[in-house]
Amino acid sequence: MKKRILSMLLCCLMLFGLVFTVSADPDQPEVDPVAHAITVTTENGTATASAETAFAGTEITLTAEANEGFRFLKWEVVEGQIEIADDKFVMPDTDVVINAVFEKIPEEHSITIIPVGKGKTYSVPKTAVAGTEITLHAEPDSGWIFYGWEEVVEEGVDKVTIASDKFTMPDRDVVIRVIFVKESSIKVTTDGNGTASADKEKALNGEEITLTATPKEGYAFKEWQVIKGNVEIKDNKFIMPDEDVEVKAIFAAEHKIVVLTDKNGTASASATDAIAGTEIVLTAKGNDGYYFKEWQVIRGNVEIKDNKFVMPDEDVTVKAIFAEIKDAPNDDDMNVKRDIHFVLVKTDGNGVGVAYPPYSEAGTKVTVVAIAKPGYKFKEWKVVKGGVELENKSIATFEMPAENVILEAIFESDGTEGDKPTPPDIPKPDKPDTPDKPGTPDKPGTPDKPGTPDKPGTPDKPGTPDKPGTPDKPGTPDKPGTSDKPGATDVPDTGDTTNVLLWAAALVIGGGVAIGTVVSKKKKKEES
């Protein structure tokens, strides 16, 4: 039996040897496997491999440990075709060199939050390294609201930018101030004669609040009264304090303002309705040939000064009174305000002066002429009233201001001692308008016939005094050389003096004719 078993084993061995012989490459020599080296380098820590050498296909495990202040970052393959995953790799059929990379652990900085006001706050995280995103949280207490974040830094240090309650951690500690402010209420009431409101019911300290008041018919808003709160209301606005505020709108009844005239001009007031205490400005303008004279108070306890009055707690009616320009006040009352203004030319007694036109509206071109008596010459114009500017010439022009004008012509000796002066070449004054050609439409003596109704007597024949040359004989009263009798050479010829003064008088009379023309036209209008 044993022999059979041994024979069968022998046959199997022979068969196996035959198969191995047939399958083996007779041309390929047998080679023993080679183990390859594993090298691990590092800095700022230690690193090892599970074997220093290994055959191809062997799994190798790597281990890294950082020094203090450092942390493992990654493995770098210096030599060998391997892939490291989870600190492991499969050994190739070559040597392998691996470097363990460590990095310095960045310093963590603190985040401190200081609340201003009442509320809760915190940050996530509470400490962090540079570059970390930090999220801030703020929860105000009841009656308070979150206002904002602000970093507290030293001078010269740039603040972090906080947007949507987040910021990026810098490479330093951070101190953040969170501001909570108290929200206060605003209450608006009225006296019952209108409605009022504020643009907000609640507001923070420092906010601007706008108030609105609407009176009911027949009333006007008068003022705001502060019932509660330290506020000052200006132009219907105030700055919210750190406390509740209550204000009250006060209205007042409006009263009527009626402006009448005597039909010789137009007049108006700055308002047709107003409450007591309102300043009212009156305006009056005379028709052609008329000037504003005065205001008459028909109704209401008011005092009109400089065309203004303060509205009383009642209706007011005033009347504008006008007067004809020919009846206008003289230079003793030149401060009377009117639309037609006068030019008065005075002299120092050594000549005469005239203006054309003698009265006009503001903006009118006015010509003034100064004529020296014999032995004198024109020196300068002195502006007594009116603030006009004109050249120091015997014939000068200026633009009429919106006020009366008083000028004085100043003369000085010409050293001629009686030489016959030659009247200056005076240009014809500007003709105001075609309709006002003086002399043509108005025969002065015809329309008024002043002597007919009253029969005053022989001396008052109306036609006689209006002859320009008869009543005024300008050379007779002045006789400049007679009263002083300075000497024979100081007495000019009567004819020369008369001619000069007559020429001046003609200018005056010419202006008077123009005035008479306007007045006559007005009278004709009234009679018609």
**Residue 220 token pair:** 């006007």
Does residue 311 lie in a domain region?
yes
pLDDT value at residue 228? 94
> Per-residue pLDDT tens for 335-361?
444 467 889 999 999 999 999 898 888
- In this prediction, residue 470 carries a pLDDT of 44
- Give the pairing of strands 341-347 and 405-413: parallel
> Among residues 182, 211, 241, which one ends one of the domains?
182
Structural domain includes residue 48: yes
- Clarify whether residues 97 and 112 are in a common domain: no
Contacts of 343 (CB under 8 A, 6+ apart): 355, 357, 358, 359, 360, 366, 368, 400, 404, 405, 406, 407
Taking residues 33-60, what's their average pLDDT?
94
Model pLDDT, residue 329: 60
For the stretch 246-284, pLDDT in tens is: 999 999 999 999 999 999 999 999 999 999 999 999 999
CB 380, CB 411: distance < 8 Å: no
> Are 323 and 348 part of one and the same domain?
no
Q: Which residues pair with 104 in a beta bridge?
A: 70
* Residues 89-125 pLDDT 10s: 999 999 999 999 999 888 889 999 999 989 999 999 9
Tell me which amino acid residue 101 is.
Answer: V
- Residue 196: inside a domain: no
**Final residue before a domain boundary, out of 82, 104, 126:** 104
Whether 193 is covered by a domain: the verdict is no
**pLDDT above 60 (res 503):** no
pLDDT tops 90 at residue 12: no
Determine the Cα–Cα distance for residues 339 and 294; give it in Å rounded to an integer: 13
Residue 371 contacts residue 500 (beta carbons within 8 Å):
yes
Residues 51 and 85 in one domain: yes
Q: Which residues, in sequence order, are CB contacts of 3 under 8 Å at separation 6+?
A: none
Residues 395 and 408 in one domain: yes
In the chain, the N- to C-terminal Cα span, in Å, equals: 179
Per the structure, the complete domain to which residue 130 belongs is given by: 108-182
With respect to residue 2, please indicate whether it lies within any of the assigned structural domains.
Answer: no
pLDDT of residue 417: 58
Considering the domain architecture, whether residues 71 and 149 belong to the same structural domain is answered as: no
In degrees rounded to 5, what are phi and psi of residue 512?
Answer: -65, -35
What confidence category does residue 363 fall into, taking pLDDT thresholds of 50, 70 and 90? confident
Q: How far apart are CA 117 and CA 179, in angstroms?
A: 6
C-alpha–C-alpha distance, residues 469 and 474, integer Å: 8
How many Å is the maximal CA-CA distance in the chain? 204
- How confident is the model at residue 30, as a pLDDT? 60
Residues 431-453 have a mean pLDDT of: 46
Same domain, 391 and 459: yes
pLDDT at 415: 83
Please tell me whether residues 171 and 315 are part of one structural domain.
no
Tokens representing residue 178 in the block: 């969170």
Same domain for 311 and 348 = no
Q: Is the peptide bond before 432 cis (omega within 30 degrees of 0)?
A: no
Q: Is the pLDDT of residue 37 over 60?
A: yes
| Rounded Cα distance, 346 and 341, in Å | 16
Q: How many domains would you assign to the chain? A: 4
40 occurs within a structural domain: yes
CA 384, CA 392: separation in Å to the nearest integer?
A: 15
